[in-house]
Amino acid sequence: MTAAAHVIGWGKYVPVRVLTNEDLASMVDTSDDWIRTRTGIAERRVAVDGETTASMATRAARQALGIAGLNPIQLDLIVVATATPDHSFPATACLVQDALGAAHAAAFDLSAGCSGFIYALSVAADLIACGAYENVLVIGAETLSRITNWGDRATCVLFGDGAGALVLQANGGDGGVLSSVLGADGSGGELLCLPAGGSREPASHRTVTEGRHYIQMKGREVFRFAARIMPQATRQVLERAGLDISDVNLIIPHQANQRIMDTATRALGVSPGMVFSNLERYGNTSAASIPVALCEAVEQGLVHRNDVVVCVGFGAGLTWGAAAIRWSVPLPQEPPSRWTQMWYRINYVYAGLRSWVRRLLRRLLALWTRE
Ligand code: ACO
C-alpha cells in the first residue's frame, strides 16, 4: 500500500514586537482607516534584533516536533520555504537542521514567494508517497521586515514576520495530503520582486542608494491575479482529490488581503466562516502565512479528525498552489508532559553542544593539517 503524508505536528512562532497601523501612520502618510479598509490588517509582528528567519523557523519547528512527539534525530528531511533566507547560502534549512540536532536529515530551501509553503508541502508529500522519506519537517518562515522599505506606504503596511511548521509522516491509513496543484507564470515576475542582490543586479552602492534591495510590487495587478487564481486552484485541487467544495470543512488561504479572501469566498460560493483569517493581527507573512494560520485554526478548535482542509496560496513568480488535506490525528492533542518537555529541552541543549564541538573539531583539524 502507498503511504500518504499525514500531518502529525504543527507549530508557529511570531515575534513579540507588534507594529500597529497607528505606529505606521507616524512613519508614512497613511491611516489606520485606509489600511483596514483596503487590506483588513490592523497590526503585524516585526522581528527584534537578533531574530532571523532561521531562529523563528527553529522555534516553530520545535513546537511542531513537540506535538508530533518526534525526536529531531528521526527526521529524514527539512524543507524551508522562504523568500528571506538568512543567507543566499548556506540554506536556512541547514541552519535549522543544525539547531534542532536533526543529524540524519537532508535539508534544503525552496523559493516560490508566498506560495512557498504549498510548494514545500507538495514536494514533501510526494517524496513521502514515493517512499523516499518517512518523517519530513516542512517550514514556512519569513523576515520580510528586513526587505521592506519603511518609507514606502504602498508596501510597508502589508507585510509582517513569522514562521510556521508542519511535521509530515508516512502512514498507510486513510487521510493525509490527498492532492496538490502547483502553478507558475514567470511572465508576471516583475509584478512582485526584489530587484537587486542576485546575479542580475549584484549589491552595489547604486543598488543600495536606489532602494533596489526592497520589495517592489504592482499591487493592483497582483490583486487581480490573486482574486482569479485562488478559487481556480481550490477547485482544481478538489477535483484532483475526487472531492467537491461541499466536502470541505475549512479553507486556509494565503493571508495577503481580506478583500482577496472575500472575493475568493464569493467565487467559491462558501460561507465566510469556512475561510480562516488571522490577517488582521499578522499582515502578510508570505510563506509563513498558511502554516501560521493552520496552526491557529487547530488551536482554536476549528479542525477536527477527518475534516478536509484546503490550503491555497499565490505569490511572487508569479506562482500559486493548493493542497487538500484530510486531517487524521485526533484533536485536541494532549500537551506533552513536563518531563517530556524537559527531555526535549535537554535534546536541544545537546544539539547546540554537538554543533559547537563539531565546529571546534573542524578548526582543530584545520590547524593540525596546516603545512
Ligand atoms: N495609505 C494611504 N494611501 C495609500 C497607501 C497607504 N498605505 N498605499 C497606497 N495609497 C494610495 C495610492 O497612492 C493611491 O493614491 P492615488 O489614487 O492618489 O494615486 C491610492 O491609495 C490607491 O492605490 P492603489 O494601489 O490603487 O490601492 P489598492 O486599492 O489597489 O490597494 C493594495 C493597494 C492594498 C496593495 C492592493 O492592491 C493589494 O492588496 N494588492 C495585492 C498585494 C498582495 O497580495 N501582495 C502580496 C503578494 S504575495 C508575495 O509573494 C509577497
User: In the predicted model, is pLDDT for residue 22 greater than 60?
Assistant: yes
**Distance between CA 234 and CA 245 in Å, rounded?**
8
Question: Cβ < 6 Å from ligand 1: which residues?
Answer: 30, 34-35, 38-39, 113-114, 153-154, 157, 192, 217, 219-220, 222-223, 226, 256-257, 284, 286, 315-316
Which atom of ligand 1 approaches the CA of 154 most closely? Answer: 8
Q: Determine the distance from the C-alpha atom of residue 332 to the mean position of all C-alpha atoms in its chain, rounded to a whole number.
A: 23
What's the predicted TM-score (pTM) here? 0.95
27: its cell numbers? 512613519
For the purposes of burial, counting CB atoms within 10 Å of the CB of 95, is it exposed (0-12), middle (13-18) or buried (19 or more)? buried
Give the confidence band of 335 by pLDDT, cuts at 50, 70, 90.
confident
Which protein residue has the closest C-alpha to ligand 1 atom 1? 30
User: In the predicted model, is pLDDT for residue 123 greater than 70?
Assistant: yes
**What percentage of residues in the chain have a pLDDT greater than 70?**
99
Mean pLDDT within 51-59: 98
Dihedral pair phi/psi, residue 273, rounded to 5°: -65, -15
Task: Give the pLDDT score at 152.
Answer: 96
Domain ranges of the chain: 4-326, 336-371
Q: 222-239: b or e for each residue (b if 16 or more CB lie within 10 Å)? A: bbebbbebbbbbbbbbbe
Distance (Å) from CA 235 to ligand 1 centroid: 28
pLDDT tens readout for residues 63-85 = 999 999 999 999 999 999 999 99
Task: Give the pLDDT score at 1.
Answer: 54
CATH code of the domain made up of 4-326: 3.40.47.10
Distance (Å) from CA 223 to ligand 1 centroid: 9
Rounded to 5 degrees, what angle do the CA atoms 273, 278, 280 make? 115
Q: Measured in Å, how far apart are the chain's first and last C-alpha atoms?
A: 57
The closest of 10, 287, 15 to 142, measured between CA atoms, is 287
Distance (Å) from CA 18 to ligand 1 centroid: 22
Task: Give the pLDDT score at 102.
Answer: 96
User: In the predicted model, is pLDDT for residue 261 greater than 70?
Assistant: yes
**Distance between CA 332 and CA 300 in Å, rounded?**
10
94: its cell numbers? 541547514
Residues acting as catalytic residues:
114, 254, 284
More confident residue, 356 or 172: 356
- Give yes or no for a contact between 319 and 183, defined as CB atoms under 8 angstroms apart: yes
Residue 314: beta bridge partners? 320
Give the confidence band of 341 by pLDDT, cuts at 50, 70, 90.
confident
Task: Give the pLDDT score at 369.
Answer: 87
Distance (Å) from CA 219 to ligand 1 centroid: 5
